[in-house]
Structure 1
Amino acid sequence: MAEEKYKTLEVVEKNPKSGVFHLYLNRPRQRNALTHDFFTEFPKALYALDHNRDVNVIVLSGAGDHFCSGIDISQLKSITQSYHDAGESLRRQILAMQDSVTALERCQKPVIASIHGACIGGAIDIVTACDLRYCTEDAFFSVKEVDLALAADLGTLQRLPLIVGYGNAMELALTARWFSGSEAKQLGLVSRAFPSKDDLDQAVSVLAQEIAAKSPLAIMGTKTVLLKSRDLTVDQGLDFVATMNSARLLSSDLTEAVAAQLQKRKPVFSKL
């Protein structure tokens, strides 16, 4: 199917029928800084990919030399001028931008962040809402907002503590200090850090294809349960997954997975 054209994004299917689609932040000359157009287009692109039956996994990365340098300063200036002395209007604008980032969690397909170069400010909001994160060792990160006289408001302060721990998140957010891809791995922000971008691209491609080959129903269900359980007690989470699986265990994917293992062949799962 033909993909919509975007001003700030590009969607690429590198290997046809692999189930892996690449979503690029695509303003390389501006280090992929986030504009109003981005916050409008990003949820639309994720919605389209989520509802495309050929998509099993989404890889999110940045075109050019950087993943993302955060919110475009001119965008920030425009927002503050437009909403000067209009607190409720500004609040609604912030909520809309938050919703654009939360679209990553709303998307039922898993999203892998592949990070190189800068990952600053609003970019941290984005990657913490992704399902998996990988980077280059020389990537550099900063929860930058306090240096702009702001508290990070698009999700970092809510999601980062769950990923790296409360103490680490507090230190990173209060200092706005820069840290490397290697330290991001030590903190647990990313699962692995790679020596070069080529190594990163190759490893993420292999991983994405491995996930894409699994039952889409099982992958989507796993993402749903993990996100839902984040806000539930253990007992509530167990009840939720029992209810969900009681319906999904009757799926043809389970029958196919068992048959494929017995017959020592690759399973062929239904598209969703």
Structure 2
Amino acid sequence: MEKYQTLEIDQRNPNSPVFYLCLNRPKHRNALSRDFFTEFPKALSSLDQNPNVNVIVLTGAGDHFCAGIDLNNLSSIAGNSVSGDRGRDGERLRRAIKLMQDAITAIERCRKPVIAAIQGACIGGGIDIVTACDIRYCSKDAFFSVKEVDLAITADLGTLQRLPSIVGYGHALELALTGRQFSGQEAKELGLVSGVFGSKQELEGSVRLVAEGMAAKSPLAVTGTKAVLQRSREMSVEQGLDYVATWNSAMLLSDDLTEAVSAHMQKRKPVFAKL
């Protein structure tokens, strides 16, 4: 398995199709360095293409999930004027931002569901990451902030595009304009997370049960559900229905369907082939 500077991939149970992708710079509260933006999509792609992986749990090493973009990285991007030409420097900066955006969007491109397990700080770029995930849970000590406005930045890696559809436009606007810190419990009330757990240990145990349950389902059905829900965000109901009809015309008549029906009739757990 490939080694990374900013990440660690872990299969905690050797027989499980649940794999853990860990942000691994605990001394820096897992702040996002330049290396992260090249390593993260590569790691996600490797997990996506691995037939032994059904579900990915995204975590942070140490006491915090992610403190946002490393300020050293931010300074180097902002101060790296190459040509002295404002137009060319602007074009270079746009490409750098697009590359970083693409690294976060890799979560959505990944066919396998990605579950975020959040403890401690989830700030700035951390919000960009978790809003791209499919499901989010946190521990009681988690705290969140759409922090970019306090650094004189318009958040540009996905929060402003994804957060409104999760918590509602009004809540997203208030959080983004104030940059205020909010708790795990408030995140639950807003709908940003699906559950809050008393400790990091409880969070890990509960997320593991959710992930294992999901991983035992038909991989065709799970990846299809993620794909159709994502595409339906940009469609009318009629267009979404047409899309899922086309999807299922290709995927519905599978061995997974036969196995699921047989297992239900025989009152046993289904066993599905790898994807």
AA aligned to 1:252 is: D
AA aligned to 1:16 is: P
Q: Deviations over 1:53-95 (max 9, x none)?
A: 0000000000011000000000000001114741010001000
Within the candidate set 110, 117, 120, 1:117 is matched to 120
Instruction: Tell me what 2:268 maps to.
Output: 265
Instruction: Tell me what 1:176 maps to.
Output: 179
AA aligned to 2:175 is: L
Q: Which runs of 5+ in 2 are unaligned?
A: none
The Cα of 1:138 is off from its aligned counterpart by: 1.7
Query: In the aligned structure 2, how far is the partner of 1:83 from the partner of 1:248?
Result: 50
CA pair 57-254 structure 1, distance change in 2 beyond 3 A: same
Say yes or no: does 1:48 pair with 2:46: yes
Say yes or no: does 1:66 pair with 2:64: yes
- Report the 3-state secondary structure (helix = DSSP H, G, I; strand = E; otherwise coil) of the residue aligned with 2:164: helix
Q: CA RMSD in A?
A: 0.7
Within the candidate set 230, 254, 257, 1:254 is matched to 257
**5 Å matches for 1:17-36?**
17-36=15-34
Instruction: Tell me what 2:152 maps to.
Output: 149
Instruction: Tell me what 1:7 maps to.
Output: 5
Q: Which runs of 5+ in 1 are unaligned?
A: none
Q: Residue 134 of structure 1 contacts residue 200 of structure 1 at CA under 8 Å; is this kept in 2?
A: yes
Which stretches of structure 1, 4 residues or longer, exceed 4 Å deviation after superposition? none
AA aligned to 1:110 is: P
- Report the 3-state secondary structure (helix = DSSP H, G, I; strand = E; otherwise coil) of the residue aligned with 1:5: coil
CA pair 231-83 structure 1, distance change in 2 beyond 3 A: farther
Query: In the aligned structure 2, how far is the partner of 1:83 from the partner of 1:255?
Result: 60
Q: Residue 68 of structure 1 contacts residue 120 of structure 1 at CA under 8 Å; is this kept in 2?
A: yes
AA aligned to 2:93 is: L
CA pair 226-83 structure 1, distance change in 2 beyond 3 A: farther
Query: In the aligned structure 2, how far is the partner of 1:148 from the partner of 1:242?
Result: 46
Identical aligned residues as a percent = 68
AA aligned to 1:90 is: L
Number of equivalenced pairs = 270
Query: In the aligned structure 1, how far is the partner of 2:128 from the partner of 2:152?
Result: 17
> With structure 2 as the length reference, what TM-score do the two structures score?
0.97
Query: In the aligned structure 1, how far is the partner of 2:208 from the partner of 2:202?
Result: 10
> With structure 1 as the length reference, what TM-score do the two structures score?
0.98
Query: In the aligned structure 2, how far is the partner of 1:141 from the partner of 1:193?
Result: 13
AA aligned to 2:224 is: G
AA aligned to 1:242 is: A
AA aligned to 2:6 is: T
Q: Deviations over 1:223-254 (max 9, x none)?
A: 00000000011000000000000111111000
The Cα of 1:259 is off from its aligned counterpart by: 0.3
Q: Deviations over 1:27-53 (max 9, x none)?
A: 000000001100000000000000000
The Cα of 1:17 is off from its aligned counterpart by: 2.3
Query: In the aligned structure 2, how far is the partner of 1:202 from the partner of 1:257?
Result: 27
**5 Å matches for 1:89-168?**
89-168=92-171
Query: In the aligned structure 2, how far is the partner of 1:270 from the partner of 1:232?
Result: 32
Query: In the aligned structure 2, how far is the partner of 1:123 from the partner of 1:197?
Result: 17
